Structure 1
Amino acid sequence: MSENRPMTVLGHLVELRGRLIKAILALIITTLVSLLFTPRFLKLLTAPMGDNLPQAIGPTETIVIYFKVALIGGLVLAMPVIVYQLISFLVPGLYPQERRYLYVIVPAASFLFALGVAFAHYVMLPAAIPFLLGFMGDIIRQQWTIEKYMSLVTGLLFWVGVIFETPLVIAFLAYLGVVSPGMLWKNFRYAIVGIAVIAAVATPTPDPINMALLMLPLVLLYLLSILLALFVYRRRETVTGTASDE
């Protein structure tokens, strides 16, 4: 893309098409690779169930779940490419000296997403699944289907991974001048309330323990967001001031 001349609408559409094609090709390749490891992924995802293995009640249910897990694995593996293509398209107005930050943002976004997925799997699920299995266990015998279980697990892993991207989102908003570090710190109490609401919605159980398990890292991520916003905000003012002087 030209750094000096603005692109036409057609030029933007052509670039968008090219970046979508690259993202889709990356997803196809990583999904094919993920197919080789899907049995291991399934064992890992069903591990929190212990001996209470979920059931398949339809003739094609296991096949559908198999390819669904492969696609999700491919999406996770392709995330760095997808994030890079998205950022490269949405932020064409970066100054040349700032473009190097793309090489930091892409691995950072991938790391935070993977960290969120790992947190959901290794911390939240081991606490949530036994609670759900034992809830009213003396009255109701629970027999979960693999489809319902995988929908619960994959949904939780995905959305917690997305939530862990919060620092980068806030840093981007700080770069645009939408928020400032002072604003974020001043509204810290309101942020805690918002985090509590997000934790209550994202947590699959109604107990306060699982809610607190998610709230703690979200509060830490918000504090990290303030630090990143402070860094980006100062860099933005420095770069803008330098560009104005030139």
Structure 2
Amino acid sequence: MSSDQDNGTSSQHSLPLFSHLIELRDRILRIVAIVIIIFLSLVYFANDIYHYLSIPLTSQLPEGASMIATGVATPFFTPIKLTLVLSIFIAIPAILYQVWGFIAPGLYKHERKLVAPLVISSALLFYLGMAFSYYVVFPLAFSFFTNTAPEGVLIATDISSYLDFALKLFFAFGLAFEIPIATLVLCWTGATTPQKLKEKRPYIVVAAFVFAMLLTPPDVISQTLLAVPMLILFEIGLLFSRFYVQPAEDTDNSEQEN
């Protein structure tokens, strides 16, 4: 009799897990389908998209210089690769929506009210970081690179190398602009407090420049243009983190319950 009860209990526990796995699979398939749809809509304009991406560099090249393709299939696959990555970037709101739909049922009502703005703002901040790198960092960095080239050296950047360079900066600045979200989450979960973060500000300044050094090209301009916004965004996150700090009463109650 007891064995039957144990089997019944185990089956009841396995069913919710199985249903969660099915839901996770469905949401991943939706994300893949959305990315494919966006990619198919943009692939016809792949060369135009790459041309737009290359403007910050080509506008700085000296007269007579141009970009080159060193591989046989590079002129075809490089724009396609860019279009696929762009499709993923465009699909970020949909991806976050699917993630939100999966985790929201497990959150309390007050937690959903706090998490929803973070999900929306994280996507906006990522786009803002990409825009900042394209419109601010790229022109300054490429102007620096082209003007410091030794005399007699013809600048001819490979289109595949340029794409890897641009995507690296897009990801670095998009990730760096998520610092306010990370600060709010740390304070919300109780991992730290705004006061403790203020006390560690000197260490955070050093960490920002080290992080910028690792993610940007080896020049002072790019590193500074990444480190300074990171520090500003940290201060913004610190300013708003007080609204995401758990009240002391809730903390005491949770400790008593435990």
TM class by shorter chain equals 0.7 to 0.9
Q: Is the 8 A contact 1:46 1:53 kept in 2?
A: no
CA distance in 2, matches of 1:35, 1:221: 35
CA distance in 2, matches of 1:61, 1:221: 38
Q: Is the 8 A contact 1:35 1:67 kept in 2?
A: yes
How far off its partner does 1:111 sit? 1.0
1:26 aligns with 2:34: yes
Once the two structures are superposed, the pairs formed by residues 84-233 of structure 1 within 5 Å of their partners are 84-90=97-103, 93-138=106-151, 140-206=153-219, 208-233=220-245
Q: Give 2:21's aligned amino acid.
A: L
Deviations 1:175-219 (A, max 9, x none): 22112211211111100000011122222142x233222222111
Deviations 1:97-139 (A, max 9, x none): 3324444233311210111001111111111112223334215
Distance 1:59 1:126, change over 3 A: same
Deviations 1:122-180 (A, max 9, x none): 11111111222333421533321101111101111122112211211222222221122
Runs of 4+ in 1 over 6 A off after TM superposition: none
Q: Is the 8 A contact 1:30 1:74 kept in 2?
A: yes
- Among residues 224, 229, 237, which one is paired with 2:247 in the alignment? 237
How far off its partner does 1:92 sit? 5.0
Once the two structures are superposed, the pairs formed by residues 31-70 of structure 1 within 5 Å of their partners are 31-49=39-57, 50=59, 51=61, 52-70=65-83
Q: Give 1:121's aligned amino acid.
A: Y
RMSD: 2.8
Q: Is the 8 A contact 1:116 1:163 kept in 2?
A: yes
CA distance in 2, matches of 1:213, 1:56: 29
How far off its partner does 1:33 sit? 2.5
1:17 aligns with 2:25: yes
Pairs aligned (count): 238
How far off its partner does 1:70 sit? 0.8
Of the structure 1 ranges 35-44 and 173-182, higher mean CA displacement relative to structure 2 is found in 35-44
Bigger-Rg structure (1/2): 2
Of the structure 1 ranges 85-94 and 11-20, higher mean CA displacement relative to structure 2 is found in 85-94
Distance 1:135 1:150, change over 3 A: same
Q: What's the TM-score, normalizing by structure 1?
A: 0.85
Identify unmatched segments of 5+ residues in structure 2.
1-12
Distance 1:37 1:112, change over 3 A: farther
Distance 1:38 1:103, change over 3 A: farther
Q: Give 2:112's aligned amino acid.
A: R
CA distance in 2, matches of 1:88, 1:169: 21
Q: Give the match for residue 9 of structure 2.
A: none
Q: Give 1:26's aligned amino acid.
A: I
Q: Is the 8 A contact 2:141 2:221 kept in 1?
A: no
Q: What fraction of aligned residue pairs are identical, expressed as a percent?
A: 28
